[in-house]
Structure 1
Amino acid sequence: MFNCEVLLLICWLFFMTFTIVHATWKCNDGQELSAFSKRCDARIDCSDGTDETFLECHKENCTEHQCSYGGCFSESQLCDGTPDCWDKTDEHPHFCNKELMTEPEPMKTFIQERCLENQSRCSKTECLDKKYFCDGIRDCPDGSDETNGNCIATTCPSGTFRCAYGGCLENAKACDHEIDCWDGTDEVPFICFEMRGKPQGNLWPSHIPRRNTTSRTTSPVLVYPKVKTASSAPEPSSVNGSCIVPSSLKNLHLKTLFNVLPYTFGSSISDAVVVRLSCYGNSQLNGNDINHCLHGIWQGPWPECIPTCSLRPFNKDLSIRAFCMYKDEIRNCKTQNTIGTSVTVTCAPGYKPTDIITLEIRLCEKQASSGIADWKFIKPTRLHCIPDCGKIHPTVKNDPWLVSIFQSDVTLSNYTFKCRGIIVSPWHVIAVRLCINEENPMRYAIAEGIQLASFMKNGEHSYMLHNVASIFNSQKISLLKLVNPLILSTSVRPICMPSREYHTNSSELTITSDTQNKYSLVSIEESILKQINMDSH
């Protein structure tokens, strides 16, 4: 029998062997990556791109988010305005602007409204049942039901196979010698060897028949004007073995497990289909988030959508800090809050109130007329906070408005110190024009504080870095707008702007202080000030 020490030694040796073997990774063209973790990280490092392919990354387990082809990206990269996945999953409208993705195409045209409630439009003349979108087979004549635009944002459940473009299949249909994904990625030999083992002769058939797409229970239908007829009959719960979505459900959002297209109330759901449930608007799901249609009967009870008050205004405003309570217990202010929750708002560190009001208290209440939950002021006061500029805290050694600007080489990998900059707002840094000699904002990175040592983008360093979104140049001053705002604190805060009479065309970045040791710019160019104000609105 192994004792604990021997077992730990074996585990350690296995771990070290695995680490050494996988310390590097080779691209198909022979290029060697310095770390195994560089593959499938939403960044193309191989010159031939083989480190970020569906073939290499389709089985990758991501801790945060996953590109449609399989690469991994972080929460901070989601909807940051810069595509990281080469297929642009991280900037897809379904994630970044949900209003654009309730249907594959806008539903507000005259023709679009003629489709049945459980269908979506293929083209200007045809409609298709929503359950056939992103299922691997092109049913629409124009193939629009199986495009990257519609399917790239799908989330395939466990136990299924994801096609390269985003469609979902049952695992049994992958590598069964019949093509189900329209792009053929369910019958790729290398993938099938992994899933099914190598067949006799070590060859996977190269000429595989495409599954017959005409064996559908329904097919695309021509669109005709929808005629509504009055009826006093009770609402049916099932039709020919299918289940009907009850119209009595309020604020409930239904979609299948295999695509992102929603079903509307009164729609017919086919037998054996599982639907995923969520709530519209400011409401919270109370109950199971999945239901199953089986032989015309819904197998589970329908959950309830409880009205909640949105905390988006508090969470999005970096100038304030929200403190939530519900029944004398502290609540997480980053989630939606139920009726009866109170929120106390104060200015965040690095900010100060604009007047004598130092806090704001609101209560989540349900409006009697609409049934919608909204915040009600306990006191008729609203807190306004602005950056507490130009102050140096006694515990801070360096000026908190100073930052270090680094410029990269052409590979955007190696960064060297270029010059110092001055924070003028949470979104903006200014520097002398001679420092910024490149128009491409991706060539620059801003480090908080005074830093001088060069660094590599993917190497270890202790800097708090910020990416640059855009550059505005005047004659002698450059204004750098950041991708994400600075989080103000005692060690990071802006310099104060000069008083109105010193908004001139001067290009000197001179700093002065008053009798209360509050520091400000002596003057600033009018064009720079206008651009800051434009960005702020």
Structure 2
Amino acid sequence: MKCRDGQMIPKEQRCDGIVNCADGFDETVAACAELRCQSEQFQCEYGGCVDGQAQCNGTIECIDGSDEKVELCGRRILVRPTTEPPTTAVPRCELPKQPLNGSYSVVSETNTTQTDYVLSYTCDPGFKLVGHSTVLCIEGTWPDKMPRCVQTCQLMKHPSIVYECTEEETEKPRQCNVEEIDGTIVKTSCRKPNYYSPVELPYMHCQQGMWSSGPVCTAECGTLPPESTPLVLRGSTAKFGEVPWHVGIYLKNPKSKKHMQICGGSLISNTIVLSAAHCFWNENTQRLEDVTNYAVAVGKLYRKWYHPDDEPFAQKSDISEIVVPKLYRGVELYYKNDIAIVIASRPFEYKLYVVPVCLDFNEEFSNIQLHNGNRGKAAGFGLTTGMRGSESPVLRVINLPYENYESCLNLTSPALSRYITYDDKICAGSLDGEALCRGDSGGGLAFPSSISGQRRFYLRGIASTSPPTNDQTVCNTHALTSFTSVIKFEKFIKAYWYP
């Protein structure tokens, strides 16, 4: 057993009627209150256990004298103490003042020669107890440091931050609690590799119930894992992490409980996906389909909703809302405004293979990236030959060359050029087999740039339309693909996007 002052004694000596701890703790209410004596023993008022013949035998064997109390024995008898009586009376404790912002209650008043009171302390809401919640007065003396109630700060932890706490009097860091006392110092750092800050993060100080600052790191965007390698053209099979912002859009079958991949999308925050409006549009009713019909998945390499090799990386969610521009009318207006904001029901956690793509609405920067021949990265599970039934079982990636508006019109048949509108579309692809197909719609076209030594991909387009072949097969791999221009929908996106 450990005494209050740190002394160790055999557990058999606890509550046996004999003081063995130098501080007397082994024979107190705090140490003995929950003890149950054996049937042949006598239990003292403070909880200790002594010989069953101790009751009213004229010898004090309980440390509090309860085995020889007048109330128990019915008469006053000459008591033979087990030890020589003290020459002076042990002073009794006086109850302390109630603590500020808290209170105590008297758990017991023992009337012993060792312990007068046992107090239990609690604090008001918004305050935390510093010290032991239970306090004993021993031989007329309270502890040097009495419990006190200190104001606290609520630490609402942000997933982008790593928190380490210290108190002002110590340098050793520890894990932070949800509630920290006044004077606590929090060292903050960005949770790598998924978050960063362009400036040094300040320490947080808990002062009078408030934190001095609330730093938040920015999510890394458009970055690839170090092991990723450059892509091969013409739709090579992707590796985990090669397009970490790609999202699979799935149609749910309520009867079979199966999910069928129908479109793609790009993750721009932990809950927001950009995709194409036509993925969710019913041309017959001229309305969006029911949001409960769809689900999204990130971190996937395989097309199937469930694939065992995906499980360590994939994150899945239902959809809470789908928003398209008010003027979107599908084929009626030649797929103008073909963009959708898809809001996941639960936030995704950024991982090595789940990273949002970067967004930048600066027109000058956009013009630097969008010049003829500059290649952007696209991905999807779409058709691999242009024919139905050739959907790729694994994610495929392709680098498509950008073509300006004039080149795009020159390379597109007059019958299909009406789908390429100057005010909200861009073009990419070539006539030699580099194209996107059905199942790739809604996926992103992202272009790389190195800024301050960091290579990032910036989303410039959302796959919208591509013309069929002359024999009306599903996809023409020898034609350009039109993409909805992201920069043209800055206000629409920013109404929902919180990076």
What TM-score, normalized by structure 1, do the two folds share?
A: 0.38
Larger radius of gyration: 2
Higher normalized contact order (CA 8 Å, seq sep 6+, divided by chain length): 2
Specify which structure has the higher proportion of helix: 1
What TM-score, normalized by structure 2, do the two folds share?
A: 0.41
